[in-house]
């Protein structure tokens, strides 16, 4: 007699239930702020270097948006 399978696969359940860092701050492009203004505010808000802020500003200009910060919700809310 041939054994039949149902095609259902039991999912592997891991003990690690940590979520990681699910929150992020996204900067969107606009036609109001200058590159210099955006760079200065990124340095203040995110605490990044001038070069990194310049990279973020350029990415936002070209792509329309960029993730500028990952972290806990309370930290992200302080940035926005």
pLDDT digits (tens, 9 = 90+) for 8-39: 655 555 555 556 668 999 999 999 999 999 99
Structure confidence at residue 19 (pLDDT): 63
Domain layout of the chain by residue ranges: 23-79
User: Which H, E and C letters describe 20-80, residue by residue?
Assistant: CCCEEEEEECCCCCCHHHHHHHHHHHHCCCHHHHHHHHHHHHHHCEEEEEEECHHHHHHHC
Structure confidence at residue 80 (pLDDT): 78
State the fold for domain 23-79: Ribosomal Protein L30; Chain: A, (3.30.1390)
Report pTM: 0.71
């Amino acid at each position: 007699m041939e054994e039949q399978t149902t095609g259902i696969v039991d999912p592997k359940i891991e003990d690690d239930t940590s979520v990681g860092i699910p929150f992020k701050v996204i900067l969107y492009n606009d036609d109001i702020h200058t590159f210099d203004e955006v760079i200065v505010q990124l340095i203040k808000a995110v605490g990044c270097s001038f070069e990194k802020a310049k990279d973020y500003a350029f990415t936002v200009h070209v792509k329309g948006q960029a993730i500028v910060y990952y972290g806990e919700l309370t930290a992200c809310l302080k940035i926005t």
